Structure 1
Amino acid sequence: MDDTPADDILEATYHALCKHGYADLTLQQIAAESERSKSSIHYHYDSKDELFVAFLDFLYERRASQLASVDGDTPRERLASLLDALLSFEETAADGEFQTAMLEVAAQAPYDDAIRRRIAEFDQYLFETVREIIEDGVETGEFDTDLEPAVAADLLTTTVRGAHTRRVAVDHPTDRLHETMDQFVEDHLVAAGAVEEVRG
C-alpha cells in the first residue's frame, strides 16, 4: 500500500530535519526531500509549526510502538530490554544529526505550548511504561516489595533523558551508563531472593 501524502511529508520532514536542524528548517527544504511541492505541503499543513506538531505525534507514536513491543517473559527481563532500547543509538551521521535536531526541538518547549505538550505526553508515557513494569515486578516478588515504583521509575526516566541530552551535547557515550543502570537495577530493585536464584 502506498504512503499517503501526509506520511510522505512527515518522512520528508525527518530527512530535512537531519540535514538542516529545527531552527533553520523551511517548508521548501521539506518539499525538496519529498515528491510534494511546497504548495502541496501548505494544503495539508498551514504552517511549519503545525507540520512539526504532526511530525512529533508521528514520531512519538512510532517510538511508543517500538517500546510497547520490548521482549521479556518477566518484569526484570522486560525492564532490561526497555533500558537497552532506550540507551541504544545508531552510530550513524544521520542519527547524530537527528538527535541534535531533536535537542533543538526540546529547547523550544518552554516557549511553545504545542511542543511542550507533545514532549510532556511522551515523557509521561515513558514514565508510566517503566512504572508499570516495576509494579509488576513488585507484585510477583521479583523486585523488592519495599520499592516505591513511581520513585524508581522517575529516577530511571530522568536518567535516560539526561543520557540522551549528554550524548548529543558533549558526545558522551552511553555504554558505561548502560552498565551502571543494569547494576542499579540488580542492586536496588531486584529482590534479594531473586538475586540469589540467579547466582545459584
Structure 2
Amino acid sequence: MVRPREFQDEAIFYGVYRALCKKGYGQATLTDITHEVDISPAALMKRFGSKRNLFLAYSDYVIELTRHAFQEASVSDCSRIDALKTVFKHGVLHMKDPVELANHTSFYLEGTSDPDLLEKTRSRLLLIDEFIRQMLNHAIANKEIAECDVPMVSRVLQAAISGAMMIWIKEPSRTLDVLFDECFQVVFAPLWNVTTQ
C-alpha cells in the first residue's frame, strides 16, 4: 500500500533536518538528505524539482510545526509561562550537541541570501513573537505575572533564548534546559516578585 504523500513529506523533512544538523545549510546536499531517509535522489528531484524548492518546502513545514507547538501550548493545563518554556525546550529537544544546533541555525542565517527563504524566516519569527505576546497577555490576565510592556518582554525573552543557544557552544557541559530555565528565571523574576508582594 502506498503511503500518503503527507507522511512521505514528513519523513523527507526529517531527513532535511538531520542533514542540516550534520552538515549545515551551505554543505548539505540532496545526497546527504537521501542518506537520512529511504528515498532516491531521483524521487526527491521529481517531488520537489530542486534543492531550493525542497528547502522552501521545509521552511513551510517548520512554520507549521512552530504554529502547532504554540497552539498546543496555548491550550495546555500548565501556566502560560511554563507552557511557553515548554515550547522553547521542545524546539531543541533533538539537538545532540552545540555543533548540531549551530549547523541547523545556519539554515536561517545563510538562507538570508535567498529572498524567498528570508521571507519565510521572517514569517516564522513574526509568528513566534505573535504567540509569545498572546501567551504573555494571557499570563497577565490570569495574574501569573504583573502588567508589563508585552512587546518588550517578548523581545527580551527571544534575545535571551537565542543567546542561551550561543552560550551552549561555549559551555557544552550545561544543558539547554538549564540555560532556558535561567532565561525564564531572570526575565520573569521581577514580574513574579511584583505579583507575590
Name the TM-score, length of structure 2 as normaliser: 0.78
**Alignment match of 2:10 (pick from 7, 12, 20):** 7
Structure 1 residue 124 corresponds to structure 2 residue 126: yes
1:68 to partner: Cα distance: 2.3
Deviations 1:134-154 (A, max 9, x none): 222333444323x12111111
| 1:68-79 mapped onto 2 (5 Å cutoff) | 68-70=71-73, 72-73=76-77, 77-79=79-81
Distance 1:10 1:110, change over 3 A: closer
Give the superposition deviation at 1:132: 1.0
- If asked which structure has higher relative contact order (CA below 8 Å, sep 6+), I would say 2
**Residue 170 of structure 1 pairs with residue 153 of structure 2:** no
1:83 to 80, 85, 88: 85
Q: Which has the larger radius of gyration?
A: 1
Aligned residue identity for 1:47: S
Residues in 2 aligned to 1:159 and 1:9: alpha-carbon distance in whole angstroms:
32
In structure 2, stretches of 5+ residues that fail to align are none
Q: What TM-score comes out, normalization by structure 1 length?
A: 0.77
Rate the CA distance shift 1:61–1:165 in 2: closer, same or farther, 3 A.
farther
* Pair 1:28-2:31 in alignment: yes
Percent sequence identity over matched residues? 17
Which 5+ residue runs of structure 1 have no aligned equivalent? none
Please identify runs of 4+ aligned residues in structure 1 that moved more than 6 A: none
How does 1:50-61 map onto structure 2 within 5 Å? Answer: 50-61=53-64
Counterpart of 1:136 in structure 2: which amino acid? H
CA shift, 1:43, in A, is 1.0
For residue 10 of structure 1, what is the amino acid of its counterpart? F
1:9–1:139 distance in 2 versus 1, CA, 3 Å: closer
